[in-house]
Amino acid sequence: MASLKELADLVISGDIEKVEAATQQLLDAGEDAMKVINEGLIPGINEVGDRFKEGEMFVPEMMMSAQAMKAGVELAKEKLGGAEIPTAGRVIMGTVAGDLHDIGKNLVAMMLESSGFNVVDLGVDVEADKFIAAVKEHNAQVIGMSALLTTTMPAMKEVIDELEEGGLRDSVKVMIGGAPVTQDYADEIGADGYAADAGNAIDLCKQLV
Protein backbone atom coordinates (compact mmCIF):
# COMPACT_ATOMS: atom_id res chain seq x y z
CA MET A 1 0.00 0.00 0.00
CA ALA A 2 1.20 3.54 -0.78
CA SER A 3 2.23 5.74 2.15
CA LEU A 4 1.05 9.34 2.58
CA LYS A 5 4.56 10.47 1.57
CA GLU A 6 4.36 8.37 -1.61
CA LEU A 7 0.96 9.91 -2.34
CA ALA A 8 2.51 13.38 -2.03
CA ASP A 9 5.28 12.32 -4.44
CA LEU A 10 2.68 11.07 -6.93
CA VAL A 11 0.92 14.46 -6.81
CA ILE A 12 4.28 16.09 -7.57
CA SER A 13 4.78 13.75 -10.54
CA GLY A 14 1.30 14.70 -11.81
CA ASP A 15 0.25 11.11 -12.51
CA ILE A 16 -3.54 11.21 -12.20
CA GLU A 17 -4.13 7.45 -12.40
CA LYS A 18 -1.48 6.64 -9.81
CA VAL A 19 -2.77 9.34 -7.45
CA GLU A 20 -6.28 7.91 -7.77
CA ALA A 21 -5.02 4.38 -7.16
CA ALA A 22 -2.90 5.35 -4.13
CA THR A 23 -5.69 7.47 -2.63
CA GLN A 24 -8.17 4.63 -3.05
CA GLN A 25 -5.74 2.15 -1.49
CA LEU A 26 -5.26 4.37 1.55
CA LEU A 27 -9.01 4.93 1.94
CA ASP A 28 -9.76 1.22 1.50
CA ALA A 29 -7.18 0.44 4.18
CA GLY A 30 -9.18 2.64 6.56
CA GLU A 31 -7.00 5.77 6.49
CA ASP A 32 -8.97 8.87 7.57
CA ALA A 33 -10.06 10.85 4.47
CA MET A 34 -9.05 14.22 5.96
CA LYS A 35 -5.63 12.79 6.86
CA VAL A 36 -5.21 11.63 3.26
CA ILE A 37 -5.96 15.18 2.11
CA ASN A 38 -3.96 17.05 4.77
CA GLU A 39 -0.91 14.77 5.03
CA GLY A 40 -0.74 13.32 1.49
CA LEU A 41 -2.37 15.46 -1.17
CA ILE A 42 -1.77 18.97 0.26
CA PRO A 43 1.96 18.51 1.06
CA GLY A 44 2.35 17.27 -2.54
CA ILE A 45 0.75 20.33 -4.12
CA ASN A 46 2.61 22.64 -1.71
CA GLU A 47 5.91 21.15 -2.88
CA VAL A 48 4.77 21.76 -6.47
CA GLY A 49 4.24 25.43 -5.55
CA ASP A 50 7.73 25.67 -4.08
CA ARG A 51 9.31 24.04 -7.14
CA PHE A 52 7.32 26.37 -9.43
CA LYS A 53 8.63 29.34 -7.44
CA GLU A 54 12.21 28.07 -7.77
CA GLY A 55 11.78 27.61 -11.53
CA GLU A 56 12.10 23.83 -11.21
CA MET A 57 8.54 23.19 -12.49
CA PHE A 58 6.46 24.98 -15.09
CA VAL A 59 2.75 25.71 -15.64
CA PRO A 60 1.88 22.54 -17.65
CA GLU A 61 3.44 20.35 -14.95
CA MET A 62 1.72 22.36 -12.20
CA MET A 63 -1.56 21.84 -14.09
CA MET A 64 -1.03 18.06 -14.18
CA SER A 65 -0.27 18.03 -10.46
CA ALA A 66 -3.38 20.10 -9.76
CA GLN A 67 -5.53 17.70 -11.78
CA ALA A 68 -4.01 14.73 -9.97
CA MET A 69 -4.65 16.44 -6.64
CA LYS A 70 -8.27 17.15 -7.58
CA ALA A 71 -8.81 13.53 -8.59
CA GLY A 72 -7.51 12.41 -5.18
CA VAL A 73 -9.64 14.97 -3.35
CA GLU A 74 -12.74 13.77 -5.24
CA LEU A 75 -12.19 10.23 -3.97
CA ALA A 76 -11.63 11.42 -0.40
CA LYS A 77 -14.72 13.61 -0.69
CA GLU A 78 -16.89 10.58 -1.50
CA LYS A 79 -15.68 9.03 1.72
CA LEU A 80 -16.40 12.18 3.73
CA GLY A 81 -19.86 12.88 2.33
CA GLY A 82 -23.05 10.94 2.62
CA ALA A 83 -24.32 11.61 6.11
CA GLU A 84 -27.58 13.56 6.32
CA ILE A 85 -26.89 16.66 8.41
CA PRO A 86 -29.36 19.50 9.11
CA THR A 87 -28.54 22.80 7.36
CA ALA A 88 -26.37 25.03 9.53
CA GLY A 89 -26.65 28.01 7.16
CA ARG A 90 -26.36 28.97 3.50
CA VAL A 91 -22.97 30.04 2.13
CA ILE A 92 -22.12 31.49 -1.29
CA MET A 93 -18.59 30.40 -2.23
CA GLY A 94 -16.36 31.43 -5.08
CA THR A 95 -12.86 32.25 -6.26
CA VAL A 96 -12.73 35.95 -7.06
CA ALA A 97 -12.55 37.60 -10.49
CA GLY A 98 -9.35 36.96 -12.44
CA ASP A 99 -8.38 33.96 -10.33
CA LEU A 100 -8.67 30.36 -11.54
CA HIS A 101 -7.34 28.55 -8.46
CA ASP A 102 -10.05 26.35 -7.02
CA ILE A 103 -8.48 23.46 -5.11
CA GLY A 104 -8.50 25.25 -1.74
CA LYS A 105 -11.91 26.79 -2.36
CA ASN A 106 -13.30 23.36 -3.23
CA LEU A 107 -11.80 21.91 -0.06
CA VAL A 108 -13.38 24.64 2.07
CA ALA A 109 -16.74 24.16 0.29
CA MET A 110 -16.55 20.41 0.78
CA MET A 111 -15.71 20.75 4.48
CA LEU A 112 -18.52 23.26 4.99
CA GLU A 113 -20.96 20.90 3.29
CA SER A 114 -19.86 18.00 5.42
CA SER A 115 -20.32 20.22 8.50
CA GLY A 116 -23.95 20.81 7.55
CA PHE A 117 -23.81 24.07 5.61
CA ASN A 118 -25.72 24.49 2.39
CA VAL A 119 -23.06 25.72 -0.07
CA VAL A 120 -23.76 27.42 -3.39
CA ASP A 121 -20.45 27.21 -5.26
CA LEU A 122 -20.14 29.83 -8.00
CA GLY A 123 -16.82 28.42 -9.25
CA VAL A 124 -13.80 30.45 -10.29
CA ASP A 125 -13.27 33.92 -11.79
CA VAL A 126 -16.46 35.17 -10.13
CA GLU A 127 -17.24 38.84 -10.74
CA ALA A 128 -18.58 40.97 -7.86
CA ASP A 129 -22.07 41.31 -9.33
CA LYS A 130 -22.40 37.52 -9.54
CA PHE A 131 -21.67 37.21 -5.81
CA ILE A 132 -24.27 39.90 -5.08
CA ALA A 133 -26.92 38.29 -7.32
CA ALA A 134 -26.35 34.92 -5.63
CA VAL A 135 -26.73 36.42 -2.14
CA LYS A 136 -30.09 37.86 -3.17
CA GLU A 137 -31.25 34.76 -4.99
CA HIS A 138 -30.34 32.31 -2.23
CA ASN A 139 -30.89 34.57 0.77
CA ALA A 140 -27.46 33.55 2.04
CA GLN A 141 -26.02 34.34 5.47
CA VAL A 142 -22.36 34.17 4.40
CA ILE A 143 -20.22 34.96 1.34
CA GLY A 144 -16.94 33.00 1.23
CA MET A 145 -14.29 34.33 -1.13
CA SER A 146 -11.00 32.68 -2.06
CA ALA A 147 -7.99 34.30 -3.76
CA LEU A 148 -4.60 32.72 -4.47
CA LEU A 149 -2.98 35.60 -6.33
CA THR A 150 -1.86 38.85 -4.74
CA THR A 151 -3.18 40.55 -7.88
CA THR A 152 -6.74 39.24 -7.36
CA MET A 153 -7.06 40.00 -3.63
CA PRO A 154 -8.46 43.52 -4.33
CA ALA A 155 -11.46 41.85 -6.02
CA MET A 156 -12.57 40.84 -2.50
CA LYS A 157 -12.86 44.48 -1.53
CA GLU A 158 -14.89 45.18 -4.68
CA VAL A 159 -17.48 42.64 -3.52
CA ILE A 160 -17.66 44.28 -0.07
CA ASP A 161 -18.00 47.71 -1.69
CA GLU A 162 -20.83 46.46 -3.92
CA LEU A 163 -22.60 44.94 -0.92
CA GLU A 164 -22.40 48.31 0.81
CA GLU A 165 -23.60 50.20 -2.26
CA GLY A 166 -26.52 47.79 -2.61
CA GLY A 167 -27.54 48.18 1.06
CA LEU A 168 -26.82 44.49 1.69
CA ARG A 169 -23.72 44.70 3.86
CA ASP A 170 -25.60 44.26 7.17
CA SER A 171 -27.51 41.22 6.01
CA VAL A 172 -24.58 39.02 4.99
CA LYS A 173 -21.26 38.12 6.63
CA VAL A 174 -18.09 38.01 4.54
CA MET A 175 -15.32 35.47 5.12
CA ILE A 176 -12.15 35.35 3.08
CA GLY A 177 -9.17 33.04 2.63
CA GLY A 178 -6.46 31.79 0.32
CA ALA A 179 -2.68 31.51 0.62
CA PRO A 180 -1.76 35.22 0.29
CA VAL A 181 -4.71 36.46 2.41
CA THR A 182 -4.17 37.47 6.04
CA GLN A 183 -6.19 38.63 9.04
CA ASP A 184 -4.69 42.10 8.55
CA TYR A 185 -6.00 42.16 4.99
CA ALA A 186 -9.44 41.05 6.17
CA ASP A 187 -9.43 43.92 8.71
CA GLU A 188 -8.23 46.36 6.08
CA ILE A 189 -11.04 45.64 3.62
CA GLY A 190 -13.76 45.24 6.27
CA ALA A 191 -14.39 41.49 5.94
CA ASP A 192 -16.03 39.79 8.92
CA GLY A 193 -13.46 37.04 9.15
CA TYR A 194 -10.42 35.29 7.73
CA ALA A 195 -9.54 31.60 7.94
CA ALA A 196 -6.09 30.18 7.20
CA ASP A 197 -7.33 26.71 6.29
CA ALA A 198 -10.42 24.60 5.76
CA GLY A 199 -10.62 23.54 9.41
CA ASN A 200 -10.56 27.12 10.65
CA ALA A 201 -13.06 28.08 7.93
CA ILE A 202 -15.64 25.75 9.48
CA ASP A 203 -15.16 27.24 12.95
CA LEU A 204 -15.33 30.76 11.55
CA CYS A 205 -18.46 30.07 9.53
CA LYS A 206 -20.18 28.62 12.59
CA GLN A 207 -19.33 31.81 14.51
CA LEU A 208 -20.60 34.04 11.70
CA VAL A 209 -24.06 32.53 11.18
CA–centroid distance for 155 within its chain: 17
CB of 110 to ligand B1M, least distance (A): 10
Report d(CA 156, CA 191) in Å as an integer: 9
Closest CA to 14 of 54, 66, 72, 74: 66
Reduced 3-state DSSP string for 4-26: HHHHHHHHHHCCHHHHHHHHHHH
- Pick 30 or 60: Cβ nearer ligand B1M: 60
Q: How far is the CB of 35 from ligand B1M (least distance, A)?
A: 14
How near is the Cβ of 91 to ligand B1M at its closest, in Å?
8
**Minimal distance in Å, beta carbon 49 to ligand B1M?**
2
106 by Cβ neighbours in 10 Å (0-12 / 13-18 / 19+) ranks as buried
Summarize as ranges the residues that interact with ligand B1M (CB under 6 A): 42, 45-46, 48-49, 52-53, 59, 62-63, 66, 98-105, 107-108, 144-146, 148-150, 175-180, 195, 197-198, 201
Identity of the residue, 2 or 107, whose beta carbon is nearer to ligand B1M in the bound complex: 107
Our CB check for ligand B1M shows the closer of 2 and 131 to be: 131
User: In terms of CB distance, is 128 or 201 closer to ligand B1M?
Assistant: 201
Q: Which is nearer to ligand B1M, 26 or 103 (CB)?
A: 103
Least distance to ligand B1M, CB of residue 163, Å: 15
Q: Which residue is nearest to ligand B1M (CB)?
A: 104
d(CA 40, CA 29): 15
Please state the closest distance from residue 122 (CB atom) to ligand B1M, in A. 12
Helices marked H in the chain:
4-13, 16-28, 33-36, 42-53, 59-80, 103-114, 128-138, 154-165, 183-189, 198-208
Looking at the Cβ atoms of 31 and 146, the one nearer to ligand B1M is 146
